[in-house]
A and B are shown apart, each in its own frame.
Chain A
Amino acid sequence: MMRPLSCDEVDRWLDAAIDDELSADERLAVVTHVAACARCTARERELRGVQRALRDGLPKLTASPALRERVRMHLREAAQSTALASQPRPSWVYRWRVHHVPALALAFVFGVGLMWWRGHGSETMPSVASQVVDSHIRSLMADHLTDVRSTDQHTVKPWFARKIDFAPRVEDFSAQGFPLVGGRLDYVAGHAAATLVYTRRAHVINLFIWPLPPNARMTDGHMSLKGYSVRSWHNDGMAYWAVSDAASGELVSLEALYQGVKTP
């Protein structure tokens, strides 16, 4: 048997008592006090009333069929893309041809692009894309999205200036629906990269920026990899790689914002 409780102590324990989260001893001590105390009896009634009102007033809800279908579709795509990635080449070519005629056309375009890139001996889109996607996934999994967390471009830009030997353009596009969350340093595809983090509704966008090596050629493009959209462009000697699971159109919008905003 526990010692008698004060009203203050009962106040701290009453909710847990109502939720049946106390040990038998604790519960007995609370009940004993409440039975003999008009104030705490009234308090308990009030809390139980609140609980009843909540249970009655907050119904369980149902995900829309459209949402459920989007999730199922993504699940099938994810299963397919991982299966493709782990299978020998002839087999996945075959499966693409059978199941995804439009995807085959897309693969052809990438194939031509790939040959073009290789022919010019610079960074090939698939290999860099794969590395920026991996970096994107790592940033989300490790919960290490930002080194400097700020929505102010004038905080983020000087932070980079102390860490790297180039000056990335840092823009906050909150007004256009792409708020800047912060920045971090990455090492991607052999480059020190300034990474800017934006959000677009519930989606995170990582934008990797590094200087293009002298004489390197880079062709701008778009691809999707492991369920992520990747978009690359270049401007003023800098390479830009944007990665997100947002719809590819969102990355196009972000690029347009970057290409359209001129720094003085």
Chain B
Amino acid sequence: MGRLETVDVTRFEQMVLPHLDAAYTLARYLTRDRDDADDVVQEAAFRAIRYFHTLRKDNPREVRAWLFSIVRRVYMTTYADRRHTATASVSLDEPTLQLVDPHEAPDAAAEHALVRERVQAAVDRLPDVLREVVVLREVEQCSYQEIATITSVPIGTVMSRVSRARARLAVMLRGMIETGDMQ
């Protein structure tokens, strides 16, 4: 028998499980699919359980970053290569925006839903390395340093990926985003 460390169930429940929703959020935006996100998170959680004894951090932000890094590795090693092209072409061609009849005077809620649809469709079309930066930055509010740690790249690379992602989204969403100074 190989040596196996005992899993501290209570400690795992207190430190890692609170980040399961965040892990799912990341996986869902990466995979763009409910079932695939379930699979990725399950595999990542199983790995987290197995390697939990190697985790030397107890700050919640760092534990969350550790879990994110496992999620993205599971995604990148098993899904990224073969799925991107197909999914991207689907979201490019599909008229997903016709949820609201353009001739009707749209009320605020419908317009809001429309904007959300378009933002999500635009993010779906980003390549993996830009999409993950957008989700980590704008949804999970990670710092550049955290993103650098999670994605194993230098902080300068994070900076340029954030710029490239926003520049592309600005083009895709042109005419729709509020450019006035609202704050």
What are 21 A-B interface contacts by the 8 Å CB criterion? Answer: A12-B160, A12-B163, A14-B163, A49-B170, A50-B177, A53-B169, A54-B169, A56-B115, A57-B116, A58-B29, A58-B120, A58-B138, A63-B20, A71-B46, A74-B45, A75-B9, A134-B2, A137-B2, A202-B43, A204-B78, A245-B46
A58 touches B42 (CB 8 A): no
- State how many angstroms separate the Cβ of B68 from the closest Cβ of chain A: 14
CA distance in complex: A4, B66 (Å) = 40
**Per-residue 0/1 for A49-77: is the Cβ within 8 Å of any B Cβ (1 yes, 0 no)?**
11111111110111110011011101110
A46 at the B interface (CB under 8 A): yes
B45 touches A71 (CB 8 A): yes
Residues on B with C-beta less than 8 A from A25 are none
B149 at the A interface (CB under 8 A): no
**Which of A16, A49, A62 has the most CB atoms of chain B within a 10 A radius of its CB?**
A49
A257 at the B interface (CB under 8 A): no
Residue of A nearest to B82 (CB): A179
**A-B residue pairs, 4 tightest by C-beta:** A57-B119, A49-B177, A63-B24, A134-B2
The number of residue pairs between A and B whose CB atoms lie closer than 8 Å in the complex comes to: 166
Contact partner of A67 (CB less than 8 A), chosen from B6, B38, B120, is: B38
- Complex interface residues of chain A between 16 and 65 (CB less than 8 A to chain B): 16, 19, 21, 42, 45-58, 60-64
Residues on A with C-beta less than 8 A from B138 are 51, 54-55, 58
A78 at the B interface (CB under 8 A): yes
Instruction: Give me the interface of A with B, judged by CB distance under 8 Å.
Output: 11-12, 14-16, 19, 21, 42, 45-58, 60-64, 67-68, 70-72, 74-76, 78-79, 81-83, 85-86, 130-131, 133-134, 137, 140-141, 145, 179, 199, 201-204, 226-227, 245
CA distance in complex: A54, B134 (Å) = 8
- Complex interface residues of chain B between 142 and 163 (CB less than 8 A to chain A): 143-144, 159-160, 162-163
Contact partner of A75 (CB less than 8 A), chosen from B28, B49, B180, is: B49
With A50-B173, A82-B6 as given contacts, are A140 and B47 in contact (CB-CB < 8 Å)? Answer: yes
**Per-residue 0/1 for B65-109: is the Cβ within 8 Å of any A Cβ (1 yes, 0 no)?**
000000000100111001000000000000000000000000000
**Which of B21, B49, B179 has the most CB atoms of chain A within a 10 A radius of its CB?**
B179
CA distance in complex: A42, B36 (Å) = 40
B170 touches A50 (CB 8 A): yes
Residues on B with C-beta less than 8 A from A201 are 36, 39, 78
With A51-B138, A202-B40 as given contacts, are A58 and B123 in contact (CB-CB < 8 Å)? Answer: yes
A58 touches B20 (CB 8 A): no
CA distance in complex: A203, B39 (Å) = 8
B46 touches A60 (CB 8 A): no
B12 touches A133 (CB 8 A): no
Residue of B nearest to A130 (CB): B1
Residues on B with C-beta less than 8 A from A245 are 43, 46
Contact partner of A61 (CB less than 8 A), chosen from B28, B82, B170, is: B28
Residue of A nearest to B115 (CB): A57
**Per-residue 0/1 for B15-58: is the Cβ within 8 Å of any A Cβ (1 yes, 0 no)?**
00100111111001100000010111111011101110000000
B74 touches A202 (CB 8 A): yes
- State how many angstroms separate the Cβ of A206 from the closest Cβ of chain B: 14
CA distance in complex: A133, B9 (Å) = 22
Residues on B with C-beta less than 8 A from A81 are 4
A45 touches B21 (CB 8 A): no
